[in-house]
């Protein structure tokens, strides 16, 4: 940034910056809620509608049909500021808002953790996670050999590296999106079931390994892979989790027990502030480690999950704001950065690539996780349910996809293919789960969920 550009941004009136932010928030939240309601009517969780709202509001539809209106809303001019700088500043503001939503969501997902099932089936969760990574990774790596000759050069990176593409495509297909999965599980009221606990545990292990693999792939592509750095990150992660479980949990648990007694089961402003400080501190720790801030939020929530009264009080304070504001911004604004028109420019070959990628993603999770669950003693329907839930990629996969684009191993056309893969696998999760629920422990909790028209119970049948 030049000195003149910095001065123009410093001199910008706060109200002039606030106005386009407010306009975008109105459009985003209204569209997210409308499409979320539409998705529910079509038998999908609202998260699918929110993702779709982002795609339709972005350059794929709104930007293509109404470019001037699109620019007015999402690329507005800021008085005295160069347009290129304005185009960079506003998305960063919304990215920060979106990340806050993700941090709060992962904390709520962690609070819903059920340790009783994990203690009994922790080995199964690890086996499911490993199989859910190995099989999709192998399929993605093999598919890369067929896809590579069809890809155009990267806009800035030039010819796509076959080695980099192989490693990255394998990782991209291996990731399970905890935020999306957690949101679907919350809406279907299955978070505190045995299958729900096993799946979210497997997904947590999956993500931890997946992000470590992604960091390793990035290092390999940039030709500076350092095994010691990877081991350092894993060691720090283990140390952080142990510190939260053994040191932070008892201190915060005792404090919130006293605070809830004093507030007759409700959290007063000071305990809420302590909760936020603790939550953000954990997010800072994992951010510094390099495994993303959201993992710290999940770890703290999971550490406090055995505090039933705290879980209910925190959910009462946070859930409506998170689901009504932060999370729609996260899902919708991320979709705004995707242009699906790139796929249409590639002809039939790219559509074939898209079909192959989606098929490999779905089969990899269903086969890998399903067979591992079956080998762990679950019935075929239970194993299929676990595989269906692990199949959700959502927009956490888009985070990885954007990294691949920045690394120069994912050109514009493949970027769009992987975005569609993330959306389609998420769309498939709920129908597959509903089809397999009969005769399993999920049937009762799903029937009582808000998604099916019932009243969600804080404690689902175990």
Give the Cα separation of 397 and 331 in Å (integer).
12
Where does residue 400 rank: exposed (0-12), middle (13-18), buried (19+ CB within 10 A)? buried
Q: pLDDT by residue (tens digit) across 342-383?
A: 677 666 788 888 899 999 999 999 999 999 999 988 999 999
Q: Where are the domains of the chain?
A: 13-84, 102-452
pLDDT of residue 460: 39
255-280 mean pLDDT: 94
pLDDT in tens, 96-116: 888 888 889 888 878 876 666
- Domain 102-452 class, CATH top level: mainly alpha
pLDDT tens digits for range 292-340:
788 889 889 989 988 889 988 998 888 888 888 887 787 777 667 677 7
223 pLDDT tier (thresholds 50, 70, 90): very low
Structure tokens at 249: 């949990």
Q: Considering only 183-197, 245-259, 388-402, which range has the smallest mean pLDDT?
A: 388-402
Residue 154's beta-bridge partner residues? Answer: 158
Q: Alpha-carbon distance 61 to 47, whole Å?
A: 19
How far apart (Å, rounded) are the C-alpha atoms in residues 214 and 170?
10
Give the C-alpha separation, 390 to 171, whole Å.
15
Statement: residue 454 has pLDDT above 70:
no
Q: Which 3-state string (H, E, C) describes the chain?
A: CCHHHHHHHHCCCHHHHHHHHHHHHHHHHHHHHHHHHHHHHCCCCHHHHHHHHHHHHCCCCHHHHCHHHHHHHHCCCCCCCCHHHHHHHHHHHHHHHHHHHHHHHHHHHHHCCCHHHHHHHHHHHHHHHHHHHHHHHHHHHHHHHHHHHHCCCECCCECCCHHHHHHHHHHHHHCCCHHHHHHHHHHHCCCCCHHHHHHHHHHHHHHHHHHHHHHHHHHHHCCCCCHHHHHHHHHHHHHHHHHHHHHHHHHHHHHHHHHHHHCCCCCCHHHHHHHHHHHHHHHHHHHHHCCCHHHHHHHHHHHCCCCHHHHHHHHHHHHHHHHHHHHHHHHHHHHCCCCCHHHHCCCHHHHHHHHHHHHHHHHHHHHHHHHHHHHCCCCHHHHHHHHHHHCCCHHHHHHHHHHHHHHCCCCHHHHHHHHHHHHHHHHHHHHHHHHHCCCCCCHHHHHCCHHHCCCCCCCCCC
Question: Model confidence over 149-178: pLDDT tens digits?
Answer: 888 888 777 888 888 889 889 988 988 877
pLDDT at residue 459 above 70?
Answer: no
- The answer to whether 376 and 125 are in contact (CB under 8 A) is no
**Distance between CA 114 and CA 287 in Å, rounded?**
25
Residues contacting residue 172 through CB under 8 Å, at least 6 positions apart = 140, 397, 400, 401, 404, 418
Q: How confident is the model at residue 206 (pLDDT cuts 50, 70, 90)?
A: confident
């Amino acid at each position: 940034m030049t000195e003149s550009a910095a001065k123009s941004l410093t001199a910008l009136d706060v109200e002039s910056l606030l106005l386009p932010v407010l306009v975008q928030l109105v459009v985003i939240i209204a569209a997210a809620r409308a499409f979320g309601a539409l998705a529910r009517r079509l038998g999908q969780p609202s998260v699918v509608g929110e993702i779709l709202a982002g795609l339709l509001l972005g350059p794929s539809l709104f930007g293509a049909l109404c470019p001037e209106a699109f620019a007015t809303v999402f690329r507005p001019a800021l008085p005295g500021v160069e347009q290129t700088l304005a185009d960079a500043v506003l998305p960063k503001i919304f990215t920060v808002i979106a990340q806050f939503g993700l941090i709060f969501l992962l904390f709520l997902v962690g609070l819903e953790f059920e340790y009783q099932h994990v203690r009994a089936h922790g080995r199964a969760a690890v086996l499911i996670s490993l199989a859910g990574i190995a099989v999709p990774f192998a399929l993605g790596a093999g598919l890369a050999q067929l896809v590579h000759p069809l890809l155009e050069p990267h806009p800035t990176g030039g010819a796509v590296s076959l080695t980099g593409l192989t490693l990255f495509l394998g990782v991209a297909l291996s990731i399970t999106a905890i935020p999306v999965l957690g949101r679907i599980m919350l809406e279907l009221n299955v978070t505190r079931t045995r299958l729900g606990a096993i799946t979210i545990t497997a997904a947590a292990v999956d993500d931890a390994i997946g992000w470590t693999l992604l960091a390793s792939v990035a290092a390999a592509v940039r030709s500076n892979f350092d095994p010691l750095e990877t081991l350092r990150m894993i060691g720090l992660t283990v140390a952080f989790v142990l510190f939260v479980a053994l040191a932070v949990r008892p201190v915060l648990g005792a404090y919130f027990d006293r605070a809830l007694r004093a507030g007759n089961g409700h959290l007063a402003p000071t305990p809420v502030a302590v909760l936020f400080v603790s939550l953000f501190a954990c997010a800072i720790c994992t951010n510094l480690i390099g495994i993303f801030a959201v993992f710290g939020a999940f770890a703290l929530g999971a550490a406090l999950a055995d505090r039933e009264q705290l879980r209910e009080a925190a959910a009462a304070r946070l859930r409506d704001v998170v689901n009504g504001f932060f999370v729609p911004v996260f899902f919708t604004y991320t979709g705004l950065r995707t242009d699906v028109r790139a796929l249409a420019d590639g002809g039939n070959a790219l559509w074939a690539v898209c079909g192959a990628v989606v098929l490999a993603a779905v089969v990899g999770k269903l086969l890998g996780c399903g067979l591992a669950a079956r080998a762990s003693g679950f019935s075929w329907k239970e194993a299929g349910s676990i595989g269906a839930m692990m199949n959700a990629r959502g927009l956490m996969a888009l985070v990885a996809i954007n990294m691949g684009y920045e690394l120069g191993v994912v050109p514009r056309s493949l970027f769009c293919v992987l975005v569609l893969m993330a959306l389609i696998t998420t769309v498939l999760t709920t129908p597959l789960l509903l089809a397999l629920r009969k005769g399993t422990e999920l049937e009762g909790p799903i029937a009582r969920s808000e998604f099916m028209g019932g009243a969600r119970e804080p404690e689902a049948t175990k």
